[in-house]
């Protein structure tokens, strides 16, 4: 009984506020007769999505492919960086500042450079995605590995565990929750990063589509692409959530238990 009340209590407010916002937008546009090359009403955006659906999907697949490829490569790169930096101290000193610097370079400039070097294909977009996504994953993974209880590592040493056993049994599993919070941040950025890459020169993709539509003041189409981008980003986050649910069952059970405890204590 209490459970159903709770779920309703959690998901109703955002849905209602979202609907209210859309209604204000819709009536605002109609009431003040805002021309559609300035701002399109939600109904027009939905219409645009329906009308241009095949075209939108054609561009969406390209963007999604770039984002997912970049995202997966980011995870692999982050793991390599995290392993090296947490196991070799001087390498950590040498590389860590470079990681920080890599995040301070304006992305727009780099995206342009990548396009000059690698052309208008998928490669420069994937590189932008990697540059955006590897950092939160790597940093969280490094923090996760470094924050393992020293006593736990000592215990494993006292039981004669080698560094490989300590890594796979202690460090990696302990770092998983932290790794997933990094992964979730990167998932939200991944689609956007691919779109930025496309914006600066592409043959296909939602970013490219938006630049075209913007030039012809088809605001409804631009916003249609924005809606798709939002949905794709949410999809990426949900995929990460699902992966976390499957990969770290010990956290899942803990959460359930805490949820149960909270509800019985109240």
Partner 1 sequence: MAELKVLNVSKTLDTVHTLSNLSLQLGNNEFAVVLGPSGCGKSTLLNIISGLIRPDQGKIEIDGEDWTGRTGRTSYMQQKDLLLPSRNILDNVAIPLLLKGINKKEARKIAAQYLKDFGLEGFASYYPRQLSGGMRQRAALLRTYLFSSDILLLDEPFASLDAITRRKMHFWLMELRQRYQPSVLFVTHDIEEALLLADKIFVLSARPATVRLEINMSPTAHEHEQVKKQILSILENENNK
Can you give the binding site for partner 1, defined by CB under 8 A?
A: 149, 151-152, 154-161, 165, 169-170, 173-174, 176, 248, 250-251, 253-254, 257
- Asked if 66 contacts 129 with a C-beta cutoff of 8 angstroms, the reply is yes
Nearer to partner 1, 235 or 257 (CB): 257
Toward partner 1, which CB reaches closer, 166 or 221? 166
CB closer to partner 1, 112 vs 152: 152
Minimum distance from residue 140 beta carbon to partner 1 (Å): 17
CB of 82 to partner 1, least distance (A): 17
Nearer to partner 1, 93 or 253 (CB): 253
Residue 202, φ and ψ in degrees, nearest 5: -160, 175
Helix (H, G, I), strand (E, B) or coil at 105: coil
CB of residue 167 to partner 1, shortest distance in Å: 13
Distance between start and end Cα atoms, the chain: 14
- C-beta closer to partner 1: residue 88 or 165: 165
Task: Find the shortest distance in angstroms from Cβ 114 to partner 1.
Answer: 39
Nearest CB to partner 1, comparing residues 42 and 173: 173
Tell me how far, at minimum, the Cβ of 161 lies from partner 1, in Å.
5
Pair of tokens at residue 141: 């993974």
Nearer to partner 1 (CB atom), residue 100 or residue 257 = 257
Query: Residue 172: how many CB atoms within 10 A of its CB?
Result: 18
Question: Which runs of consecutive H residues, i.e. helices, occur in 200-248?
Answer: 206-215, 219-247
Alpha carbon dihedral 207, 211, 214, 216, in 10-degree steps, equals: -130
74 burial class (0-12, 13-18, 19+ CB within 10 angstroms)?
Answer: buried
Dist CA 119 CA 123 (whole Å): 8
Whole-angstrom distance, CA of residue 80 vs CA of residue 103:
18
Which residues have CB under 8 Å from 233's CB, separation 6+? 187, 188, 190, 191, 192
Shortest Å distance, C-beta 36 to partner 1: 55
Residue 88, both tokens:
């070799």
User: Minimum distance from CB of 112 to partner 1 (Å)?
Assistant: 44
């Amino acid at each position: 009984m209490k459970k159903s009340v709770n779920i309703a209590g959690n998901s109703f407010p955002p849905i209602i506020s979202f609907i209210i916002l859309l209604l204000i937008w819709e009536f605002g546009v109609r009431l003040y007769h805002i021309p559609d090359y300035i701002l399109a009403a939600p109904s027009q955006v939905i219409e645009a999505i329906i009308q241009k659906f095949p075209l939108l999907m054609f561009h969406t697949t390209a963007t999604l492919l770039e984002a997912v490829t970049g995202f997966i490569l980011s995870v692999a790169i982050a793991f390599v960086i995290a392993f090296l930096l947490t196991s070799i101290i001087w390498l950590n000193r040498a590389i860590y500042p470079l990681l920080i610097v890599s995040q301070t370079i304006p992305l727009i400039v780099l995206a342009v450079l990548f396009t000059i070097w690698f052309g208008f294909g998928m490669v420069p977009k994937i590189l932008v995605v990697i540059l955006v996504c590897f950092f939160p994953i790597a940093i969280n993974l490094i923090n996760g590995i470094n924050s393992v209880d020293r006593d736990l590592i000592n215990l494993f040493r006292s039981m004669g565990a080698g560094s490989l056993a300590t890594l796979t049994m202690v460090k990696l599993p302990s770092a998983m929750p932290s790794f997933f919070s990094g992964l979730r941040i990167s998932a939200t950025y991944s689609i956007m990063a691919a779109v930025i890459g496309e914006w600066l020169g592409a043959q296909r993709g939602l970013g490219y589509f938006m630049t075209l539509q913007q030039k012809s003041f088809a605001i409804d189409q631009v916003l249609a692409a924005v809606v798709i981008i939002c949905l794709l980003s949410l999809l990426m986050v949900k995929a990460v959530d699902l992966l976390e649910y499957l990969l770290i069952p010990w956290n899942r059970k803990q959460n359930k238990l805490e949820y149960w405890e909270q509800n019985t204590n109240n």
